[in-house]
Amino acid sequence: MNTPPEFALSRRTLLKLGAGSASVLVAPAAMADVPGIGTPARAPVTAEVAFKVNGRARALKLDTRVTLLDALREHLHLTGTKKGCDHGQCGACTVIVDGRRINACLSLAVMHEGAEITTIEGLGSPDDLHPMQAAFVKHDGYQCGYCTPGQICSAVAVLKEIKEGIPSHVTADLTARSEASAEEIRERMSGNLCRCGAYSNIIEAIEDVGGQRA
């Protein structure tokens, strides 16, 4: 027998209420200044934000809690950017903001007023692939493909970071420029996980675009 939806809802609400009242009982009144404790619940708040996504101006009215990732996926329907862990650990949500790669899940949309955002949809299209997209196809840099948009956005930014002379953990000489070697790419891509384990092909694809391979 299926659980009636009313029951599921009330059970969840009950659990929520239970957890809330338990923490109220434990937290002493003197803890009002402790971040996160004793703060009264607040009704949802909306705010306006305007930024450019893939060259197109977008204006949104959003709950302040909406992350850049959810704004892109749920509000602008740019679902190429993926939600993996939603905690900055997997890199599936990597997008390029004002020329730098970031985890879109760990950034609020309202904090990006005036920003220029590039997602996987803005790098290339099926008919006109970005060189990094083409290299991932050529080198078979994926299996299931879920992490791929984040890998590709990250990889494009990695090559730019190397070109700009930004050092990494494996850069031997901090006063010299680093090269797009496999070692540098491996280190710089460590914020992008691939549970299928396509890493060796991903590195080959990036090396290819980086000019280290013929």
Partner 1 sequence: MRAFTYERARTPAEAAAAAARTQGARFIAGGTNLLDLMKLEIEIPSHLIDVNGLKLDTIEATEDGGVRIGALVRNTDLAADSRIRRDYALLTRALVAGASGQLRNKATTAGNLLQRTRCPYFYDTAQPCNKRLPGSGCAAIGGVSRQLAVIGTSPSCIATHPSDMAVAMMLLDATVETVRADGSTRRIALDDFYRAPGKTPHIETVLEKGELITAALLPAPLGGTHIYRKVRDRASYAFALVSVAAVLQADGSGRVALGGVAYKPWRSDAADALLPQGARAVIGNLLQGATPSPENQFKVQLAERTLASVLLQARS
In the complex, which residues of this chain contact partner 1 (CB under 8 A)?
23, 26-28, 31-37, 39-45, 47, 63-65, 67, 86-88, 91, 94, 100-103, 106-108, 110-111, 113, 154, 157-158, 161, 164-169, 171, 174-175, 186-192
Calculate the alpha carbon distances from 86 to 46, 103, 110, 119, 154 in Å.
Answer: 21, 9, 17, 17, 16
Residue 9 C-beta: closest distance to partner 1, Å: 20
Nearer to partner 1, 5 or 114 (CB): 114
Residue 214 C-beta: closest distance to partner 1, Å: 27
Q: How far is CA 130 from the centre of its chain?
A: 20
Residue 148 C-beta: closest distance to partner 1, Å: 16
Helix (H) or strand (E) holding 132: helix 131-138
Which sign does the torsion angle of CA 64, 67, 73, 74 carry?
Answer: negative
How many Å apart are CA 99 and CA 116, to the nearest integer? 8
Residue 88 C-beta: closest distance to partner 1, Å: 6
Nearer to partner 1, 43 or 214 (CB): 43
Nearer to partner 1, 131 or 167 (CB): 167
Q: Please tell me whether residue 72 adopts helix, strand or coil conformation.
A: helix
